[in-house]
């Protein structure tokens, strides 16, 4: 399977997937990383893994539509079977989502449907939940609303702040995202309405 990843920042989830691919744990290869800004650690990490990086700098475009058109063209040229949003901090346009229905997945640092959108860790702490975690889900036209593939949970402690909670959740993300990518690449995920069924090996 041809995997394209999108990232905006640090790239630790990108690296977790790229490492699992390098270790032969995923039946696919990463044919490219697309970043939406210059100077991301994610791009540096991809280059060190010899994965081609395409920068589509949001700020270079006059409008959101023009940015989306450039992103769409880049994606088409890579002909992906799977698009992985690994810390991609923008909402994908509807046309890209429709064109790639059922083959875009996202990682989110909360137990959805709680705490969708930005600042998920802060939302969880301020709400006072005792458990949180991460969710890997298919992307639909809403924000963090698509069918859920995998979730991992952890405690939220009384002395947690955003930084300690995000560290704990990030370790779970680095397990869950490669696992979900692997399941997808093995053809083991079936979407049925809101639910995703995982078939046996
Ligand atoms: C992760 O917490 C991810 O869940 C969120 O953005 C963060 C990206 O981290 N969507 P990284 O760039 O993968 O290190």
**Is the CB–ligand 1 distance for residue 135 below 6 Å?**
no
Cα–Cα dist 32/76, whole Å: 12
**What atom of ligand 1 comes closest to residue 166's alpha carbon?**
2
- Rounded distance from Cα 173 to ligand 1 centre (Å): 8
CB of 87 shorter than 6 A to ligand 1:
yes
Q: Tell me if 40 sits within 8 A of 8, measured CB to CB.
A: yes
Ligand 1 mean position to 89 CA, how many Å?
A: 9
Return the pLDDT at 91: 87
Fold designation for 2-198: Rossmann fold (3.40.50)
- What is the DSSP code string of 89-105? -SPPPHHHHHHTTTSEE
pLDDT of residue 140: 96
pLDDT of 176 reads: 98
Q: Is 107 in the pocket of ligand 1 (CB under 6 A)?
A: yes
Query: Ligand 1 center to residue 132 CA distance, Å?
Result: 15
Q: Would you call 167 exposed, middle or buried from its count of C-beta atoms within 10 A (0-12, 13-18, 19+)?
A: exposed
13 lines ligand 1 (CB under 6 A): yes
pLDDT, residue 201, reads: 80
Dist. CA 161–CA 183, nearest whole Å: 33
Cα radius of gyration rounded to whole Å, the chain: 16
> Residue 32 pairs with which residues in a beta bridge?
4
pLDDT for the residue 38: 93
Interstrand relation of 29-35 and 2-7 (parallel, antiparallel or unpaired): parallel
Q: In the annotation, is 121 catalytic?
A: no
What pLDDT tens digit does each residue of the chain (201 aa) get? 999 999 999 999 999 999 999 999 999 999 999 999 999 999 999 999 899 999 999 999 999 999 999 999 999 999 999 999 999 998 899 999 999 999 999 999 999 999 999 999 999 999 999 999 999 999 999 999 999 999 999 999 999 999 999 999 999 999 999 999 999 999 999 999 999 999 998
Strand spans (E) along the chain: 2-7, 29-35, 53-55, 82-85, 104-108, 131-138, 148-155, 189-192, 195-198
**Number of other CB atoms surrounding residue 115 within 10 Å:** 23
- Give CA–CA dist 109/38, Å, rounded: 24
Structure ipTM: 0.96
Chain centroid, CA 172 distance in Å: 13
Ligand 1 in reach of 9 Cβ (< 6 A) = yes
Residue from 108, 121, 137, 174 carrying the catalytic annotation = 108
Mutational test site, ligand 1, from 34, 173, 177, max ligand atoms within 8 Å of CB: 173
């Amino acid at each position: 399977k041809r995997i394209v990843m999108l990232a905006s920042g640090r790239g630790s989830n990108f690296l977790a997937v790229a490492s699992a691919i390098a270790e032969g744990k995923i039946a696919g290869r990463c044919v490219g990383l697309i970043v939406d800004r210059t100077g991301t650690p994610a791009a540096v990490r991809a280059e060190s893994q010899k994965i081609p990086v395409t920068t589509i700098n949001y700020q270079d475009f006059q409008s959101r539509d023009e940015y989306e058109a450039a992103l769409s063209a880049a994606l088409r040229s890579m002909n992906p079977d799977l698009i992985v949003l690994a810390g991609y901090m923008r909402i994908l346009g509807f046309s890209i989502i429709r064109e790639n229905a059922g083959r875009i997945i996202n990682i989110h640092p909360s137990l959805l449907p709680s705490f969708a959108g930005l600042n998920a860790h802060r939302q969880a702490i301020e709400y006072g939940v005792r458990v949180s975690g991460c969710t890997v889900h298919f992307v639909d036209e809403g924000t963090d609303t698509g069918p859920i593939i995998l979730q991992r949970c952890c405690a939220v402690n009384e002395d947690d702040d955003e930084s300690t909670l995000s560290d704990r959740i990030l370790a779970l993300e680095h397990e869950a995202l490669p696992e979900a990518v692997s399941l997808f690449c093995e053809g083991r995920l079936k979407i049925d309405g809101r639910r995703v069924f995982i078939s046996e090996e």
